Chains A and B, each alone.
Chain A
Amino acid sequence: MRLLLRFDSKTVREPVISRTTLETGALINILRASVGARRGEILIEIEDKKAKEVEEVLERLGVDVVELAEAVQKDDELCVHCGACVSICPTEAITFNGERRVVITAEKCVHCGACVKVCPTKALSLPL
């Protein structure tokens, strides 16, 4: 399960991730982090069975939590399957299938948006 955590000016100063790990024993994998002085966003990955518990703790600590079920979205009306995005994706979430169509493996997507910026037909977008 991937969770997008949004921090406000107060929570951004707190060691929330460490507290959550200590309290729940969940192993938290940070996929992407963008933390500034007043706000921050961290994308984490956790075991599905710990998800509820981790979410509860984070929310109690004042963090806004969004469950990310979906990967980057591709509009197949616009996609011509050129594959410009394939070598750009840092996690190899975008590949060709047997028909040479471009497909996205949702579990591998870390919502970095790199592919969105390179698509020549604007077929890709982030769900959030």
Chain B
Amino acid sequence: MVKTIEEINQKIREGNAVVVTAAEMKEIVEELGAEKAAKEVDVVTTGTFGAMCSSGAFFNFGHSDPPIKMQRVWMNDVEAYTGIAAVDAYLGVAQLSETVEEYGGSHVIEELVKGREVELKATAYGTDCYPRKEIVTEISLEDVNQAVMLNPRNAYQRYNAATNSSNRILRTYMGTLLPNFGNVTFAGTGEISPLNNDPEYRTIGVGTRIFLCGAKGYVIGEGTQHAPPYGTLMVKGNLKEMKPEYMKAAYFPGYGATLFVGIGIPIPILDADMARFTAVRNSEIETKIIDFGVARRDRPVVRKVTYEELISGKVEINGEEVRVSPLSSFYMAEKIMKELKREIGMGEFSLTAPVDRIPTKRVFKPMRQREIKVVKSVMVKAYTIPPETPIEEAARLMIDKGLNHLPVVENDVLVGIITSWDIAKAVARNKKGMVREIMTKNVIYTYPDEPVEVAARKMEKNDISALPVVDSKKRVLGIVTSEDLSRLIAR
């Protein structure tokens, strides 16, 4: 049996369409089977509500008198991009305020949607047609000509979950990750998420009408970084029609601003295949847990995991039970599915056939870089000393060789480090004896193949000025100092 979208829309208009949420559909297909379910059900509503940094809005502010061709523009001190026509600008949700902490583009958009005014400030160089050089005014959504939410990448089909093998707390876009595999975080809503219910992108495509933050919006293509089955969507919608309850400005501590975006997508059940797709279960949706303790692009995969395990709240890593935080709101996703079901049931929302398909195959390439500079290329020979070296002798070595750091080595292995500051402290306190008594034992070190940016961040985080370079057996190969690195990175 095959239905067309027009037939389904006819039923919607007549108030006869059978609309169910994705959560309900799983049960229906299990009970009736795909063939029968496809006859019974016309539309399945899906939903997601996650922090989506790749979001923002286009504005057209109208012309001032005398007119201005904006060169730079700020909304509540958050800069928007105006390298387009005179009074058009794009405000990204992740852009941060230049004056207020923990406030960004997402907060500006939220204030506007709540009906509040924001300050608009712009500067320009002045032309014959646009003589004005600056303007400061207040605007609300009512005052601007257009306010269009346009999100380059939303509705991730699935996403890598995160954990942290390192020994310090990490503040990331995946939330706060506790040390030593202390927790796991994940994003996406699994079996109720739009793209997981249409994995071949048969009905979700260019032109699909969607629910976007309480308004009607549209899919305008595949999103950036679209790489099935990690598919994404580019979407747009009228900001003026959006409702504050279906979006939320957020600030991930130590990371930055972002926006929780509420998206709902109706899926027409055209045939038994579509019924089968929408019956997908969390246990069939797999992703990877990756280790953010390694600050590289290719972070190690800790293990594979299903959304069922993630949603259960506990996963096993190295034989230990680790607690899990979702970062997408299942409560809000459910609310969106139900709201979209209501709207379709009331005949307020009809379906669209895609004008074009989005790709079912696409790879996500890494950045082409000139070179990746690694520690090996900047490290210098390290003078090492045994822990039984008298403090005076270490001091003499530092002066003779012009050094500020001496790694301490025992049986070929790094066991400590002393700095000129440690020696100065020992002298000030009239402390005599061996280096072992004054050295720092918990040494922060680096590896020859570590990128220099990673080494520099280690020094900055720990407020230190040098790192011994060691091999996998902790044998000292050399040393890098912050002066060497800053010269290289600044270049």
A residues with a Cβ closer than 8 A to B are 78, 80-88, 92, 95-96, 99-102, 117-118, 120-122
Contact = CB atoms under 8 A, between A and B. Distances in A.
A36 B208 CA distance: 62
A120 B325 contact: no
**5 smallest beta-carbon distances between A and B, as pairs:** A87-B183, A120-B250, A87-B325, A81-B331, A87-B323
B323 A82 contact: no
Interface stretch (B251-259, B369-377, B381-389): B251-259
Contacts of A101: 331
Contacts of A81: 329-332
A117 B254 CA distance: 10
Contacts of B82: none
Contacts of B322: 87
A80 B183 contact: no
A84 B49 contact: no
Contacts of B252: 120
Interface in B162-214: 175-176, 178, 183-185
Contacts of A120: 51, 175, 250-253, 258
How many of chain B's residues touch chain A, expressed as a range? Answer: 20 to 34
A88 B183 contact: yes
A82 B327 contact: yes
B183 A121 contact: no
A82 B326 contact: yes
A82 B252 CA distance: 12
A82 B328 contact: yes
B191 to A, nearest CB: 13
Interface in B328-368: 328-332, 334
A122 B313 CA distance: 22
18 contacts: A80-B250, A80-B329, A81-B329, A82-B50, A82-B326, A82-B328, A82-B329, A86-B323, A86-B326, A87-B183, A87-B184, A87-B325, A88-B183, A101-B331, A120-B251, A120-B253, A121-B250, A122-B251
Nearest to A118: B176
Given A80-B248, A86-B323, A88-B178, A100 B334 contact: yes
Query: Which of B184, B248, B322 is the most central at the interface, judged by chain A CB atoms within 10 Å of its CB?
Result: B248
Nearest to B330: A100
B260 interface: yes
Contact of A80 (B102, B178, B260): B260
Nearest to A92: B323
A87 B185 contact: yes
Nearest to A82: B329
B324 interface: yes
A63 B49 CA distance: 48
A82 B184 contact: no
Contacts of B178: 87-88
Contacts of B313: 86, 95-96
Contacts of B184: 87
B332 A88 contact: no
Query: Which of B258, B322, B330 is the most central at the interface, judged by chain A CB atoms within 10 Å of its CB?
Result: B330
A86 B311 CA distance: 12
B282 to A, nearest CB: 13
A88 to B, nearest CB: 6
A122 B102 CA distance: 10
Contacts of A96: 313, 330
Nearest to B174: A84
B175 A84 contact: yes
A88 B328 CA distance: 16
Contacts of B326: 82-83, 86
Contacts of B50: 82
Given A80-B248, A81-B330, A121-B248, A86 B325 contact: yes
B49 A88 contact: no
A36 to B, nearest CB: 22
A84 B175 CA distance: 7
Contact of B325 (A78, A83, A99): A83
Given A86-B313, A88-B176, 14 more contacts: A78-B248, A80-B329, A81-B332, A83-B329, A84-B325, A86-B323, A88-B183, A96-B313, A100-B334, A101-B331, A117-B176, A120-B252, A121-B260, A122-B251
